[in-house]
Amino acid sequence: MQLKTLADKKRLVLGLGQTGLSVARFLHQQNQQFKVMDTRQEPSGLDELLAINSDAYLVWNPQLFNEFDELVVSPGIAKNTPEILEAEKAGVKVIGDIELFAQVNQVPVIAITGSNGKSTVTELVATLINVSGKKALIGGNFGVPALDLVNQDADFMVLELSSFQLETTYKLRPIAATILNICEDHLDRYQSYQDYIAAKRRIYRNAETIVINHNDENTWSFGDEQISFAVISAATAEEETLDWVLDLVQRVIRHKDKTVISLAELSLQGAHNALNVVAAFALLDAVGIEINDAVLAAAKNYQGLPHRCQFVAEKNGIHYINDSKATNVGATVAAIESFAALFEQIILIAGGDAKGADLSALQAPLENQVSALIVFGKDAKALSLLLLDKSYLVENMAQALVKSQQLIQQNQWQNCLVLLSPACASLDSYKNYQERGEEFMKLARALAC
């Protein structure tokens, strides 16, 4: 599909990560002048950048910001950095890669955000569209950078968008958009929880249809425009008559008054993952994709993404599940509540860097549904205070798994879940959440041999 023409401007790309490189490639292809700055002396990707444009790289110097028309800020750099705010006040436009994408793209976009589950829903939506006979590509905060998709043929672009990307996006016009859920996260980056919510809600700007989560008022935002919307819900009462419903009583997914699929038919585990399927169906419905037999079969067989409530091993009734991607409180609460009905005991392994979040929302699920809490990492002590009588501080993952075995043997637990769902970021002890999850799986599988 023919792209819209990008306006000629002097652009400075801030940050040379995966996103910054995609911006450089795109601007070069569009014959646009640009420079790149990074705070690191030798950032990864520098050789690739210099191969694109040997004169593009500049040493970090905020005094030069005002010499450009636009700053294209990578998601890892806060928009409220004083030097960036100063440039913006001087009239320099501050945008991100998604804004550049929006300025040239003409393929219908399905836009997805949320504190938890957005990668799963993004991949699931694309998977279901592709079995329906249409073609969908994935990009944004998951998969490949959005700008790497602009020259590819597709019926839909399915974009996962972070709050960091949304706060520098203005012209995106999704055919359908959703906020799956919002809980406290990234409060080390935002001045308040409300600022974080406001950044997420930017996804609804200019959307043709929005899909809201009836169970989470933070996802409700309609602005002043008259737009259509669908409502998803986890229903606990028969009177729920919303558009798409996860019926937890009958254990089915319904569209209005019609049963679409039984939860027992889904490969995905947990109630929160079932709600992700509901959201995917609602988005497909919003863009005119029929939920036919092929789509239903693909939904049933979808296994999910690694490190997101991923089954690891089982031995003698002891199950191990890796939910290392649970880097905030809301994700861990969802995991606990999803598995509480399936196991007599849950041993929760948690900890890491809580990023300044309020941990109190964990207290009730811990007290009511967790048999033991094992914690390590930067904010382990704060987490242990939530379950004083049943919490155990250890030094690392290996000690956490050893402690779980001691508790199982001492109490003779048989239908027990050992759940890694940290409620915290991993960077205090690991390169990323993937490395944390891989270590848990390696140790758990050794125990289950």
Active site residue 141: yes
Of 118, 255, 307, 325, catalytic? 118
Active site residue 186: yes
Closest by alpha carbon to 339, among 351, 330, 347, 327? 347
Give the whole-angstrom CA distance, residue 444 versus residue 425: 21
Of 105, 116, 130, 141, catalytic? 141
Q: Which amino acid is at 202?
A: R
Give the whole-angstrom CA distance, residue 107 versus residue 111: 12
Is the separation of the CB atoms in 25 and 148 below 8 Å?
A: yes
Of 35, 79, 186, 355, catalytic? 186
The set of catalytic residues is 118, 141, 186
